[in-house]
Structure 1
Amino acid sequence: MLDCVIVGGGPAGLNAALVLGRARRKVVLFDSNSPRNAVTHESHGFITRDGIKPSEFRKIAHHDIAKYPSVMIRNEKITDVKKKGMLFELVTEEGECIQAKKVILATGLKEIHPSVDNLMNYYGKSLFSCPYCDGWELKDLPLIVLTEFPHAFHFVKIVYNWSKDLIVCTNGHKVLTTEQKEVLQRKGIKVSEQKIKTLVGENGFLESVIFEDGQEVKRNGGFVTPQWIQASHLGQSLGCEINQLGGIITDELGRTNIEGVYAAGDTSVIAPSQVIIAAAEGSKAAIGVNTDLTQDEF
């Protein structure tokens, strides 16, 4: 009988596995190896790991976890999970049934990007979603902020810390109020509500934005605000409560409203989406699991 199954092998799941391994808990981490940051060349904002490649981060994490014999990592996908009494029954893609006392969901999020021709050719190289992660590399360049969502105003103000040469493109959507547009224009930030026809550049590096009316604006990169959705249906199928942003609601130790189910990383914290925050959330969820297992034993 496993103490815990961790679903998801990103920073949150890996750190949870490390902490539970050190707590001598019997754990299996299932990693489908389909990370959202597959397009990312470097991860930033994690002290001692600033600029690390995601693949290198995973390699180091796996090496660290390998020191703890009670933890196993399996490169398989969990397709279903059900609560049966006080236990959980998880089913792998191969049909194998696994039982565990606790479950940590660290499956992360999926991004739905604005509908712009060839946007993904630039995403991860010169267009990014997190200014805290990639703003330094784009500092003082002429940038585009591509957004179709109401939180655009706040996001643009954050990006302004890294570059004052900004144009906000809403791709045909009306997401800014008249007052908000006036505030941005007073700061020298241009706003275009025209639909974008295409992006132009080479080898993933943006050079210009072409609008449907034929206007062309030179840009060297920028930021995109995607819509976030859960990457896995497992939380919803278990009955976990979801907040307005699409994240699973948890307490300070990762506990969801379903006893024995915990969530960590981007699964529960929508933004900012940083490796260091995800890893910390994994650690907290692991402490929650160990605390509750200990309480159950006594």
Structure 2
Amino acid sequence: MLYDCAVIGGGPAGLNASLVLGRGRKEVILLDDDAPRNAVTQESHNFITRDGIEPVEFRKAAYADLKKYPGIVIQKERVTDINPADAVFHIQTEAGKNYEAKTIILSTGLKDVLPDIEGIHNFYGTSLFSCPFCDGWELKDTPLIFIADGAFSFHGVKMVSNWNKNIVICTNGKESLSPEQRDILAKKQIEVIDDEILRLQGENGQLKTVQFKNGKELHKEAGFISAKMEQAAPFAERLGLELTDMGGIKTDPYGRTSIKGIYAGGDNAAGPPQLVIAASEGSKAAIGVITDFVEETF
């Protein structure tokens, strides 16, 4: 079967794109490997009527919405390759299946690249977080550690300070802060520790202690990480799509990319990475698909 659109990725962007396409009377297949970026997240916030919802419950409710529309097919399969040929996109999956679509929406999202610190994955999503907009409210009264890693560390600290000014910054021996930035932090009475981190310790996802290679320890029960983000799937690069300076897929206001027939929406195309924003971007990409179908056939 030749689908009108194949949506690659079933996060909030892909789910909302599929909903708009299904309601737009298009034949759409949603291909998702069921490995969402927010799998470690306990709750999702800042989405009106859905504030505090568990990601698994959000997806369950989304699937229930999609099943109302007969034009939507959901396949839990990992896409391994996309090949454009003869005005059709040929899609291959890890299960060895092949699908064809007139257009595609890439909503594969981003993935977090955490600092190389022993134990960090044990606490990420439970007591260590990357987004203050998502978790700043819950940690507003808790003394925090901020693990600085990369060029955007200072910006991250500034954002966290909106919710909580009781912060200790750990650079893990990296040059993540300029002398000017350090001066500002000193004036704000925010301590900076430059010692290299040996490991993070705690139990049941709850951080307790930061151990440094020089033998020192810091007792903190929560914090934020300046995590790097990169494309979760290689398709943008493989297809030769134009990217933004931040590494996202460059699109127009309706999700159109630099290649005709390919649209993008969600964290992999726009930011900041928020549930409500990703859903909105998916909706806009689907509107772009339908608009272009109408323009070509009317």
Shorter-normalised TM-score: what interval? Answer: over 0.9
Aligned to 1:4: 5
Contact 1:89 1:98 in 2 (8 A): yes
Provide the rounded CA distance (Å) in 2 between the counterparts of 1:93 and 1:166.
45
Task: Specify the code of the residue in structure 1 equivalent to 2:235.
Answer: L
Unaligned runs of 5+ in 1: none
Q: Spell out, residue by residue over 1:23-64, the C-alpha distance to the aligned partner (whole angstroms, 9 max, x if none).
A: 111000001111111111111111100110111000000000
Q: Spell out, residue by residue over 1:248-288, the C-alpha distance to the aligned partner (whole angstroms, 9 max, x if none).
A: 1111111110111011111112x421111110010000001
Counting aligned pairs with the same residue, the percent is 51
Matched, 1:193 2:194: yes
Q: Spell out, residue by residue over 1:190-217, the C-alpha distance to the aligned partner (whole angstroms, 9 max, x if none).
A: 1112111111222111122121122222
Provide the rounded CA distance (Å) in 2 between the counterparts of 1:32 and 1:225.
27
Q: Secondary structure at the match of 1:82?
A: strand
Aligned to 2:234: 233
Aligned to 1:115: 116
Contact 1:82 1:90 in 2 (8 A): yes
Q: Secondary structure at the match of 2:29?
A: strand
Provide the rounded CA distance (Å) in 2 between the counterparts of 1:258 and 1:225.
33
Q: Secondary structure at the match of 2:138?
A: helix
Aligned to 1:284: 284
Aligned to 1:135: 136
Moved more, 205-214 or 122-131: 205-214
Matched, 1:89 2:87: no
Q: Spell out, residue by residue over 1:108-139, the C-alpha distance to the aligned partner (whole angstroms, 9 max, x if none).
A: 11221101110011101000110000111111
Matched, 1:76 2:77: yes
Provide the rounded CA distance (Å) in 1 between the counterparts of 2:285 and 2:79.
19
Q: Secondary structure at the match of 1:282?
A: helix
Q: Secondary structure at the match of 2:267?
A: helix
Provide the rounded CA distance (Å) in 2 between the counterparts of 1:94 and 1:175.
42
Provide the rounded CA distance (Å) in 2 between the counterparts of 1:87 and 1:296.
15
- Summarize the alignment of residues 1-298 of structure 1 with structure 2, pairs less than 5 Å apart: 1-269=2-270, 271-298=271-298
Provide the TM-score with structure 2 as the length reference. 0.97
Moved more, 243-252 or 30-39: 243-252
Task: Specify the code of the residue in structure 1 equivalent to 2:96.
Answer: G
Q: Secondary structure at the match of 1:213?
A: coil
Provide the rounded CA distance (Å) in 2 between the counterparts of 1:69 and 1:235.
30
Provide the rounded CA distance (Å) in 2 between the counterparts of 1:97 and 1:85.
16
Unaligned runs of 5+ in 2: none
Moved more, 156-165 or 192-201: 192-201
Task: Specify the code of the residue in structure 1 equivalent to 2:275.
Answer: V
Contact 1:140 1:164 in 2 (8 A): no
Give the total of aligned pairs: 297
Task: Specify the code of the residue in structure 2 equivalent to 1:40.
Answer: T
Moved more, 181-190 or 195-204: 195-204
Moved more, 178-187 or 85-94: 85-94
Q: Tell me the CA shift for residue 224 of structure 1.
A: 0.8
Q: Tell me the CA shift for residue 151 of structure 1.
A: 1.3
Q: Tell me the CA shift for residue 78 of structure 1.
A: 1.4
Moved more, 213-222 or 29-38: 213-222
Provide the rounded CA distance (Å) in 2 between the counterparts of 1:27 and 1:15.
12
Moved more, 123-132 or 74-83: 74-83
Task: Specify the code of the residue in structure 2 equivalent to 1:284.
Answer: K
Contact 2:152 2:226 in 1 (8 A): no
Provide the rounded CA distance (Å) in 2 between the counterparts of 1:29 and 1:237.
20
Task: Specify the code of the residue in structure 2 equivalent to 1:30.
Answer: L
Task: Specify the code of the residue in structure 2 equivalent to 1:27.
Answer: V
Q: Spell out, residue by residue over 1:188-246, the C-alpha distance to the aligned partner (whole angstroms, 9 max, x if none).
A: 11111211111122211112212112222221211112221111112211111122322
Runs of 4+ with deviation above 4 angstroms: none
